[in-house]
Structure 1
Amino acid sequence: MNQEKRMRLYKERKKKLLSQKEIAQELGIGRGSYIKIENGKADLQLELAKKLSDFFNLTVDELFF
């Protein structure tokens, strides 16, 4: 994930005024796992990418590509 897309995930989270922990809980993953996703250091599975895109009301393409 390039820096622009990492920033998109960060910005969307900030728009909702949520912490990394709160989003991680919503997705059913650990905070550390979410941090890795937001920092582009995790191999993101399609199922989780879909959950994130649904959570932010965006398409997977808009959020990650």
Structure 2
Amino acid sequence: MVNAVFEFEFNNQVVEFDISDKDLMINATEMGKIFGKNPTEFLKLKQTKDFIDRIEKHALAF
């Protein structure tokens, strides 16, 4: 069973990623704040969707 928490820093702000077996949890509120968006707006952006896809692919490598 894999359980890991790692932090990603962007523009001097930290976003936590929690990985456990088949789940990847990202704090959308923290991510949205970096870009001045609330979670609903942030999750609708194409750039956000692309970013989530890349993170998922990277997480599967663990």
Which structure has greater helix proportion?
1
Higher Cα radius of gyration = 2
Same fold per superposition (TM over 0.5): no
Higher RCO structure, 1 or 2 (CA under 8 Å, sep 6+): 1
Which structure has greater strand proportion?
2
TM-score (normalised: structure 1): 0.32
